Amino acid sequence: MSDNTLISIKNVHTHYGRIPMLIDVSLDVHKGHVCCVLGANGAGKSTLVKTILGMVNADGGSIAFEGQDITDWSTHKRIAAGIQVASASIGTFPKMTVETNLRLGAYTVHEPKVLAERLEEIYESFPILKSRLQQKAGTLSGGERTMLSIARAVINKPHLLIMDEPSLGLAPIIVDEVFRVVKRLNQHDNISIMLVEQNANKALSVSQFGYIIQKGQILFAGEAEAILKSEFMQNPIM
Ligand SMILES: Nc1ncnc2c1ncn2[C@@H]1O[C@H](COP(=O)(O)OP(=O)(O)O)[C@@H](O)[C@H]1O
Ligand SMILES: [Mg+2]
């Protein structure tokens, strides 16, 4: 593990009941990078995300975050250490307002003054949310809900932001906006990002490094530019 490694997953296996899901998965995300994990539906991407969060048990192998072995840590402890997930399927409360969702999402922020500052930062970065603070999250458009899921992770100032298919189900123009946000969070706010996606072209265009996962196994790992030029893009398995 180099000094620059933020999270290092080594030889992790997981299974659902007796069915193996992740098979000998090893993957590193470097500090300051966007690292994408590409794979088709059912490849095991969300299982990998849940394993990193400790919501699915790693069965063998290890996970180190900022140099500490977190393999046996609770989900709560991992989040407190600075891992946040933005996912359309985890986290937002549809019957609560955008503002309440952001306040509840900021569960690692304990000081009211700091929370107020963080909310202001979020309103500046996500003006679309500022204009909808009193709207119930369940009535937001798909793109707005995606922005809310990202904002409620970002408000905690994560050291590692994991984004689970942020572009899923969105219109092309909104997809472009989502990838612009990914780039800005990385380049402007210096957040290291693990970007889980099926949209390989767009994800690679904002990433330094990428992994291709197929049937629970890492099929390929390499520089984003190399993957963009590789046979995988001609003959996509995603
Ligand atoms: N809790 C679960 N119990 C049993 N099988 C599951 C569970 N969650 C996911 N799976 C199965 O594991 C496989 C990988 O799922 P997932 O990690 O969600 O894939 P992806 O996010 O790449 O689409 C799928 O075949 C899925 O049906
Ligand atoms: Mg998934």
Percent of the chain with pLDDT over 70: 98
Quote the ligand 1 centre to 16 CA distance (angstroms). Answer: 8
pLDDT at 50 over 80: yes
Quote the ligand 2 centre to 95 CA distance (angstroms). Answer: 24
Ligand 1 pocket mutation, candidates 19, 25, 47, 85, criterion most atoms within 8 A of CB? 47
pLDDT at 89 over 80: no
> Domain 5-82+158-234 belongs to what architecture?
3-Layer(aba) Sandwich (3.40)
The dihedral over CA atoms of 50, 187, 201, 199, expressed in degrees to the nearest 10, equals 30
The average pLDDT across 42-53 equals: 97
**SS3 category, 160:** strand
**Residue ranges per domain, the chain?**
5-82+158-234, 93-155
Q: What is the pLDDT of residues 92-101, one digit of tens each?
A: 899 999 999 9
Ligand 1 atom closest to Cα of residue 47: 17
Q: Whose CA is nearest to atom 6 of ligand 1?
A: 16
Residue 54 CB less than 6 A away from ligand 1? no
pLDDT at 237 over 80: no
- Strand order from edge to edge, sheet including 68-69: 19-30, 5-16, 62-65, 68-69
